C-alpha cells in the first residue's frame, strides 16, 4: 500500500517535472538508455502521466546480490489483483477526463504505468525520480488519539527502515507524549528481513513488558513478522495497524488468530461511478494484449491462456494449469480483489491524484503571461516532446560514463572526462624523483665518508690509536659498512624479481657482517683486560684468526636463513592496485613474512649480544677501551630499528621503501660515527694524544 501511495504522490507532483518556463531553451531529447521493459501499460497522449504500482510483490524477504541491475525477481513474486485495480483506476480517471469538455478541452491525456514490484530500487530505476516524501501525517496524529482513548501509556513502536515509517513514528512520538504515553522501545527493521534482523526484532518485543505494538510497514514485511510470531506462539500482542496494512485482506485471511482485536485507521473509502464496468469490460481482449491482464485471468480462473506474451511463470503449479476455456469463463461472475469496488481507498487516492494533475494542467493552459506563478509573472509551457530531462548521475570511482557505468580494468583508470579508460600511472621509488635523489645522495655520501675513514686508517696504520683498537677488525668493519651503504641503492629503481631478492639478502648479510665485527671487537676488549691478569692465557684462544672466524661464522647463520627464504617463498616484484585506485605501485613483497622477520630478528639478536657485552665493558680502565662507543652505536641502532617497525608496517608504496632505506642509512651512519669519529678526531686533530703512553693511561 505504501508503494501505491507513493505512486499517487508521484502523480500529483509529476506536473512540476513536465513544465518549463516560457522563454527557457529546451534541452535535448531525453532518451532512456536501457532495455525497455514490455511489462507496462501505455496510452499515447499530448501529456503522458506516469504511474508506479506494485502489481507484483514478494511474499517473503530476500537479499539482492548487488551484482545485477535493479529488477523484478519474478521467480519470487506474487501477483496482486488489487494493485492492478489501482492501475486501472488511473486509466479510468484519464479516460474520464479525456471525455470531458470543461477540463482540458484541447489536450488529450495519456498514461505510462509500470510495475514497481514493491521494491524501491526497481521503482527508482523505472521512474528516474529521486524523491523524498512526507506522507500519512494525519494517520500518525489519529493513532496518538487512539492511544489516548484507551489510556495506553506503555506502547512498543516498530517500523520498516524507510522515510515512510521514520517520519510517521516521529510524529506519533511527538503527539503521544502530549497525552502522557511513552514508547517502551522504538525498533526499525530492514525492508529485507534476514534471520538475524527478525530474531533481533523478536528479542526486542519479548524483552519488553509492553503488550500494545504500533507497526508502520507494508504487507510483505508484516507477513514475515507475523509468520515468526505464529511460530513463537506470540498471541498476546494488541496490534495497532498503520493505514498501509489496516485493510490488507491477505493478512487478515492468513493471520486472523494473531490479528484478532487489531485496531487501526484506514484511508477513507469512496465510490467512483462507472469504475466497476471499466474494470471488467473487454477483460479477455486485454488478457491477450497485456501480460498483466493475462496473469489476472490465469490467477482468477486457475488456468493457462494460450497467448505468447513476455511473461514470467512463477511456480510449478502455474505450469500445470489446465488450458483456459475462454468462452465459458465470465469475469463478471467471479468476485476478486480486482473487481471489488466496495472498499475503494487507495484507488480513490489515485483517482484524485490524476484529477489534481489534470486541474493543474488546465490552470496552466489558461495562464496569462505577466500574471503567471513563476518569476517575473512568467507562465509554464508545454511542447510536443518531453521537456523534463534528468542529469546523469556521475559514475563511481573507477567507472566511465557509458550505458551501465562500465568499470575500468585493474590496469586502467578513467580519464579526466570519464569517457574512456587509460592506462594507470605506475609508481615506484625512482632515481629521477626528488626522494630517490636525496636517498641516493645520502647513500653515496655515506660510502664516501666510509672510504675516507678507510684511507685515514691506512695512512695512519702504524699509529697506536689505529693499531691499539684491533686494526684488522676495524678495516673489515669499514668494508662491510660500505656494503651497507651500497645496499640502500638496491632499494631504488623499478623492482624486478631478481632485484627484490638481491636487496633483501644484501641488506641482511651486510648488517650481519657489521654487527658480527662489532661483536668480535667487544669480545676482544673484554679478553684484553682479562689477559692483563696474572697467568691469563685468554688472548691465545681468541687471536686474529679466531676473530675472523667468529665474524664469518655468525654471518653464515644469516646466509642459511636467507637461502631457506629464497628457496621456499622468495621476495618478488608485484603490481599493487589495492592501496591507490588511480595508480599502480610497483613494489617488492617479501614473499615469506617469516623469512623477512627472521632476517631482522637475527640482526637484532647479534645487536643485543653486542650491546650487553659492551655495556659490561664500558667502565674498564684505559683509553684503549672503546666499549662505551660501541654501546652508544648500539643504542642508536636499536632506536632506529624499533622506530622502523611500526612506520614500515603502516606505510605503503615508495614511502615504505624510503623508510627502509632511511633505517639502513641511519643505523650505518650511527655505527660509523660512534666508533670511528673519535679515532679520526685524535688521529687528525689531536696527534699529541696518538701515542702509546696516552693509550696506556688509566682513567
Query: Which tens digit of pLDDT belongs to each residue from 167-217?
Result: 888 888 888 888 888 899 999 998 888 889 999 999 999 999 999 999 988
Q: Considering the entire predicted model, what is its pTM?
A: 0.48
Which CATH number does 38-62+73-133+275-391 carry?
A: 3.40.50.2300
For residue 623, pLDDT beyond 60: no
Looking up cell 493475462, which residue turns up?
294
Q: What percent of the chain has pLDDT over 70?
A: 78
Q: Name the pLDDT band for 127 (thresholds 50, 70, 90).
A: low
For residue 128, pLDDT beyond 90: no
Please give the average per-residue pLDDT across 130-135, as a whole number: 34
* In the chain, where the domains are located: 38-62+73-133+275-391, 137-264, 394-422, 429-530+539-616
For residue 6, pLDDT beyond 60: no
Contact at 8 Å (CB) between 485 and 508?
A: no
Write down the pLDDT at residue 686: 83
**What confidence tens digit (pLDDT) does each residue in 154-166 have?**
999 999 888 778 8
**DSSP annotation string for 15-49:** GGGS-EETTPPPPPPP---SPPPS-EEEE--SEEE
Separation CA 585–CA 577 (nearest Å): 7
For residue 232, pLDDT beyond 70: yes
**What confidence tens digit (pLDDT) does each residue in 352-409 have?**
889 988 888 888 877 887 777 777 778 766 544 444 555 566 778 888 876 567 888 8
How are beta strands 47-53 and 109-115 bridged, if at all?
Answer: parallel
Range with the largest mean pLDDT of 3-17, 307-321, 531-545, 638-652: 638-652
Separation CA 623–CA 630 (nearest Å): 14
Contact at 8 Å (CB) between 190 and 59?
A: no
User: By three-state DSSP, how is residue 372 classified?
Assistant: coil
Please give the average per-residue pLDDT across 267-295, as a whole number: 84
C-alpha cell of 428? 615506484
**DSSP annotation string for 348-359:** HHHHHHHHHHHH
**What confidence tens digit (pLDDT) does each residue in 60-81 have?**
655 666 666 666 665 567 888 8
C-alpha cell of 451? 672510504
Out of 135-149, 580-594, 655-669, least confident range: 135-149
**What confidence tens digit (pLDDT) does each residue in 84-112 have?**
999 999 999 999 999 998 898 888 999 88
Out of 194-208, 269-283, 556-570, 608-622, least confident range: 608-622
Same CATH fold assignment for domains 38-62+73-133+275-391 and 429-530+539-616: no
Separation CA 697–CA 624 (nearest Å): 9
Contact at 8 Å (CB) between 141 and 265?
A: no
Contact at 8 Å (CB) between 283 and 331?
A: yes
Residues 6+ apart with CB under 8 A from 309: 290, 291, 294
For residue 530, pLDDT beyond 90: no
Separation CA 158–CA 208 (nearest Å): 13
593-616 vs 544-568: helix axis angle to the nearest 10?
160
Residues 6+ apart with CB under 8 A from 147: 155, 176, 179, 181, 212, 214, 240
In CATH terms, 137-264 corresponds, of 3.20.20.100, 3.40.50.150, 1.10.8.870, 3.40.50.2300, to 3.40.50.2300
**What confidence tens digit (pLDDT) does each residue in 662-683 have?**
999 999 999 999 988 888 888 8
Write down the pLDDT at residue 136: 44
User: By three-state DSSP, how is residue 210 classified?
Assistant: coil
Within a 10 A sphere around the Cβ of 479, how many other Cβ atoms? 16
DSSP secondary structure letter of residue 110: E
In CATH terms, 429-530+539-616 corresponds, of 1.10.760.10, 3.40.50.850, 1.20.1070.10, 1.10.3720.10, to 1.20.1070.10
For residue 12, pLDDT beyond 70: no
Q: Name the pLDDT band for 472 (thresholds 50, 70, 90).
A: confident
- Burial of 189-202, coded b for 16+ CB within 10 Å and e otherwise, reads bbbbbeeebbeebb
C-alpha cell of 203? 528479542
Residues 6+ apart with CB under 8 A from 260: none
Write down the pLDDT at residue 564: 94
Please give the average per-residue pLDDT across 140-144, as a whole number: 77
DSSP secondary structure letter of residue 373: S
Side-chain half-sphere exposure of 255, counting CA atoms within 13 A: 25
Contact at 8 Å (CB) between 550 and 520?
A: yes
For residue 113, pLDDT beyond 90: no
Q: Name the pLDDT band for 9 (thresholds 50, 70, 90).
A: very low
Within a 10 A sphere around the Cβ of 462, how many other Cβ atoms? 8
How are beta strands 583-589 and 572-576 bridged, if at all?
Answer: antiparallel
Amino acid at each position: 500500500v505504501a508503494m501505491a501511495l507513493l505512486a499517487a504522490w508521484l502523480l500529483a507532483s509529476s506536473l512540476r517535472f513536465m513544465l518549463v518556463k516560457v522563454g527557457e531553451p529546451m534541452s535535448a531529447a531525453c532518451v532512456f538508455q536501457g532495455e525497455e521493459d514490455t511489462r507496462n501499460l501505455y496510452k499515447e497522449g499530448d501529456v503522458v502521466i506516469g504511474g508506479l504500482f506494485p502489481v507484483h510483490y514478494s511474499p517473503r524477504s530476500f537479499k539482492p546480490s548487488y551484482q545485477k541491475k535493479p529488477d523484478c525477481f519474478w521467480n519470487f513474486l506474487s501477483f496482486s489483483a488489487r494493485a492492478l485495480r489501482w492501475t486501472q483506476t488511473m486509466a479510468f480517471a484519464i479516460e474520464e477526463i479525456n471525455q470531458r469538455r470543461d477540463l482540458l478541452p484541447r489536450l488529450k491525456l495519456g498514461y505510462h504505468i509500470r510495475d514497481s514490484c514493491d521494491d524501491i530500487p526497481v521503482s527508482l530505476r523505472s521512474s528516474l525520480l529521486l524523491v523524498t516524501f512526507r506522507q500519512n501525517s494525519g494517520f500518525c496524529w489519529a493513532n496518538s488519539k487512539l492511544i489516548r482513548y484507551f489510556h495506553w501509556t506503555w506502547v512498543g513502536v516498530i517500523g520498516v527502515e524507510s522515510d515512510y515509517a521514520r517520519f510517521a513514528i516521529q510524529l506519533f512520538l511527538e503527539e503521544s507524549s502530549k497525552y502522557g504515553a511513552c514508547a517502551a522501545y522504538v525498533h526499525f527493521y530492514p525492508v529485507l528481513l534476514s534471520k538475524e534482523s527478525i530474531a533481533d526484532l523478536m528479542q526486542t518485543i519479548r524483552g519488553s513488558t509492553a503488550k500494545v505494538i504500533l507497526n508502520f510497514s507494508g504487507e510483505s514485511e508484516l507477513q514475515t513478522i507475523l509468520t515468526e510470531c505464529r511460530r513463537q506462539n506470540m498471541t498476546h500482542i494488541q496490534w495497532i495497524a498503520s493505514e498501509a496494512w489496516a485493510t490488507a485482506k491477505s493478512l487478515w485471511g492468513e493471520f486472523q488468530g494473531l490479528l484478532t482485536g487489531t485496531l487501526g485507521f484506514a484511508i477513507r473509502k469512496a465510490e467512483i461511478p462507472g469504475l466497476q464496468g471499466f474494470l471488467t469490460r473487454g477483460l479477455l481482449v486485454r488478457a491477450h494484449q497485456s501480460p498483466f491482464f493475462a496473469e489476472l485471468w490465469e490467477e482468477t480462473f486457475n488456468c493457462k491462456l494460450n497467448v505468447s506474451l513476455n511473461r514470467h511463470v512463477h511456480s510449478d503449479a502455474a505450469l500445470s494449469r489446465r488450458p483456459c476455456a475462454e468462452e465459458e469463463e465470465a469475469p463478471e461472475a467471479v468476485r476478486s480483489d480486482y473487481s471489488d469496488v466496495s472498499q475503494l481507498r487507495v484507488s480513490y487516492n489515485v483517482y484524485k491524484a490524476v484529477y489534481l494533475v489534470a486541474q493543474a494542467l488546465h490552470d496552466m493552459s489558461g495562464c496569462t503571461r505577466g500574471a503567471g506563478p513563476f518569476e517575473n509573472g512568467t507562465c509554464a509551457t508545454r511542447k510536443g516532446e518531453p521537456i523534463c530531462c534528468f542529469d546523469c548521475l556521475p559514475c563511481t570511482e573507477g567507472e566511465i560514463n557509458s550505458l551501465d557505468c562500465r568499470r575500468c580494468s585493474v590496469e586502467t583508470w578513467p580519464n579526466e572526462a570519464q569517457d574512456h579508460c587509460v592506462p594507470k600511472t605506475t609508481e615506484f621509488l625512482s632515481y629521477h624523483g626528488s626522494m630517490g635523489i636525496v636517498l641516493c645522495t645520502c647513500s653515496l655520501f655515506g660510502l664516501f665518508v666510509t672510504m675516507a675513514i678507510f684511507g685515514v686508517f691506512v695512512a695512519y696504520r702504524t699509529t697506536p690509536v689505529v693499531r691499539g683498537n684491533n686494526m684488522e677488525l676495524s678495516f673489515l668493519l669499514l668494508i662491510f659498512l660500505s656494503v651497507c651503504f651500497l645496499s640502500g641503492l638496491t632499494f631504488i629503481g623499478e623492482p624486478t624479481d631478481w632485484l627484490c631478492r638481491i636487496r633483501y639478502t644484501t641488506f641482511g648479510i651486510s648488517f650481519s657482517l657489521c654487527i658480527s665485527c662489532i661483536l668480535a671487537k667487544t669480545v676482544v676488549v673484554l679478553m684484553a683486560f682479562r689477559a692483563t691478569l696474572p697467568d691469563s692465557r685468554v688472548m691465545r684462544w681468541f687471536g686474529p684468526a679466531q676473530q675472523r672466524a667468529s665474524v664469518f661464522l655468525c654471518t653464515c647463520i644469516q646466509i642459511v636463513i636467507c637461502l631457506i627464504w629464497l628457496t621456499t617463498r622468495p621476495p618478488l616484484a608485484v603490481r599493487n592496485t589495492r592501496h591507490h585506485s588511480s595508480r599502480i605501485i610497483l613494489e617488492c613483497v617479501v614473499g615469506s613474512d617469516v623469512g623477512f622477520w627472521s632476517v631482522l630478528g637475527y640482526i637484532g639478536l647479534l645487536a643485543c649480544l653486542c650491546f650487553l657485552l659492551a655495556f659490561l665493558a664500558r667502565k674498564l680502565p684505559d683509553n684503549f677501551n672503546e666499549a662505551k662507543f660501541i654501546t652508544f652505536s648500539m643504542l642508536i641502532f636499536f632506536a632506529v630499528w624499533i622506530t622502523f617497525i611500526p612506520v614500515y608496517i603502516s606505510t605503503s608504496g615508495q614511502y615504505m621503501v624510503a623508510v627502509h632505506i632511511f633505517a639502513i642509512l641511519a643505523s650505518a651512519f650511527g655505527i660509523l660515527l660512534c666508533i670511528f669519529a673519535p679515532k679520526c678526531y685524535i688521529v687528525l686533530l689531536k696527534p699529541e694524544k696518538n701515542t702509546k703512553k696516552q693509550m696506556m693511561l688509566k682513567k
